[in-house]
């Protein structure tokens, strides 16, 4: 078995130093811990381990709790990503993001308690063959433009904007999640890593990777938004790209293939999509101002969008949890260390350790 990971090494990063006003990644004072939540049901697997619905005992507020086994995290070499995601989430909060409320750990797991969004992700709804109208997609573009504009103000490139990472609330508003491969860039810096999900990655990411060019910046998220908007409207993506396509062929593809827009879409929507799917990042729409200036969105009352006062065209079915029901069974039956038995298990380990200690003295 792999040696136990030395979490103490990470303590320096987790407990904020006295001089720093930043909240620590894991609360050193342990104000909040696992016992403060009641587990209601398991709902799925995400990039950060598994997810369940919980209720905070004192306030009765409901959240989603993501948890990841530390040992597994080390074996999969995901420690850095987890910490980066936590560090980023601690510093941000926005109406169209999935926000972090608490993070803590015990001997076995790391936990993140985040906004509970029960409307399912957009990938799920695409797979259910939901026909998204232009009006609906228009609102998603507005809501995501506000989220991306906010992230830019916080120097964050998300790098993984796609339907899988957009969660709907019960009213149908969009929220961006999963900061697993996000990066922070300071003024004038550029990112260079080949990161993202290929079909949604902007051309300059591949360019920079191949030619060691000047790197890329915030514009990449707006390209992904364009790909996603097109896919929601059409049911397939503007470019036929798959995860196994070699990077060389993709660079070629963007310079030769022209995107086909549906003749049924309004001219203004097509014009907006063209500006998001502009290969040259310098000419691409890539900030809120660009979006707000487009003819298509000239009638949008942005203050209403911010306050979630614009009614979404697509409202997820109430009464159905939009997730895979087999997951819950798995968690109860197949999981070797199920969450709902944690308290007993940790107590048992503790008493075993105590008896070991006393037998050695």
Question: 201 lies in which domain range?
Answer: 122-306
Mean pLDDT of 43-52: 77
Structure tokens that stand for 109 in this block: 């797991």
CA distance 133 to 106: 46
Are 133 and 108 within one domain?
no
Are 96 and 126 within one domain?
no
Are 129 and 197 within one domain?
yes
Q: 178 an active-site residue?
A: no
Are 173 and 276 within one domain?
yes
Residue 188 domain flag: yes
- Tens-place pLDDT, residues 102-131: 999 888 899 999 999 989 999 999 999 999
pLDDT bucket at 326, cuts 50 / 70 / 90: low
Domain holding 43: CATH number? 3.30.200.20
Residue 316 domain flag: no
Domain holding 144: CATH number? 1.10.510.10
Residue 317 domain flag: no
Residue 87 domain flag: yes
Residue 241 domain flag: yes
Residue 128 domain flag: yes
CA distance 69 to 79: 11
**C-beta atoms surrounding 301 within 10 Å:** 10
Are 127 and 38 within one domain?
no
Are 18 and 159 within one domain?
no
- Tens-place pLDDT, residues 143-193: 999 999 999 999 999 999 999 999 999 999 999 999 989 999 988 899 999
Number of domains in the chain: 2
Binding-site sequence positions for ATP: 66
Are 283 and 332 within one domain?
no
The single residue of 160, 164, 169, 221 carrying the catalytic annotation is: 160
pLDDT of residue 14: 43
Are 78 and 167 within one domain?
no
Residue 312 domain flag: no
Q: Pick 76 or 304 by higher pLDDT.
A: 304
Are 250 and 198 within one domain?
yes
**C-beta atoms surrounding 78 within 10 Å:** 17
- Tens-place pLDDT, residues 216-256: 999 999 999 999 999 999 999 999 999 999 998 998 899 89
């Amino acid at each position: 078995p792999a040696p136990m990971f030395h979490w103490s090494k990470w303590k320096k990063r987790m407990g904020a130093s006295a001089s720093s006003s930043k909240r620590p990644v894991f609360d050193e004072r342990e104000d909040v811990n696992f016992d403060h939540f009641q587990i209601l049901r398991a709902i799925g697997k995400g990039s950060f381990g598994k997810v369940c619905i919980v209720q905070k005992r004192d306030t009765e507020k409901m959240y989603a709790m993501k948890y990841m086994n530390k040992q597994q995290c080390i074996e999969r070499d995901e420690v850095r990503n987890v910490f980066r995601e936590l560090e980023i989430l601690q510093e941000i909060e926005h109406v169209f993001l999935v926000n972090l409320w608490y993070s803590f750990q015990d001997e076995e797991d790391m936990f993140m308690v985040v906004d509970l969004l029960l409307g399912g992700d957009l990938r799920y709804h695409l797979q259910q063959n939901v026909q998204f109208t232009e009006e609906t997609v228009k609102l998603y573009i507005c809501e995501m433009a506000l989220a991306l504009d906010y992230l830019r103000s916080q120097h964050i490139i998300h790098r993984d904007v796609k339907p899988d990472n957009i969660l709907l609330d019960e009213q149908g508003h969009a929220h961006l999640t999963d900061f697993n491969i996000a990066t922070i860039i300071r003024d004038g810096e550029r990112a260079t890593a080949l990161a993202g999900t290929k079909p949604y990655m902007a051309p300059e990411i591949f360019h920079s990777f191949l030619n060691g060019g000047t790197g890329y910046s915030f514009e990449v998220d707006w390209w992904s938004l364009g790909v996603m908007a097109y896919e929601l409207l059409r049911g397939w993506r503007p470019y036929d790209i798959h995860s196994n396509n070699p990077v060389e062929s993709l660079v070629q593809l963007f310079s030769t293939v022209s995107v086909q827009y549906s003749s049924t879409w309004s001219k203004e929507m097509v014009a907006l999509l063209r500006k998001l799917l502009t290969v040259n990042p310098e000419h691409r729409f890539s900030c809120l101002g660009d979006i707000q200036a487009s003819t298509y969105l000239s009638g949008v009352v942005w203050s209403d969008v911010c306050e979630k006062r614009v009614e979404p065209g697509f409202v997820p079915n109430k009464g159905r949890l939009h997730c895979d029901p087999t997951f819950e069974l798995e968690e109860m039956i197949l999981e070797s260390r199920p969450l709902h038995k944690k308290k007993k298990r940790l107590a048992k380990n503790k008493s075993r350790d105590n008896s070991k200690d006393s037998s050695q003295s």
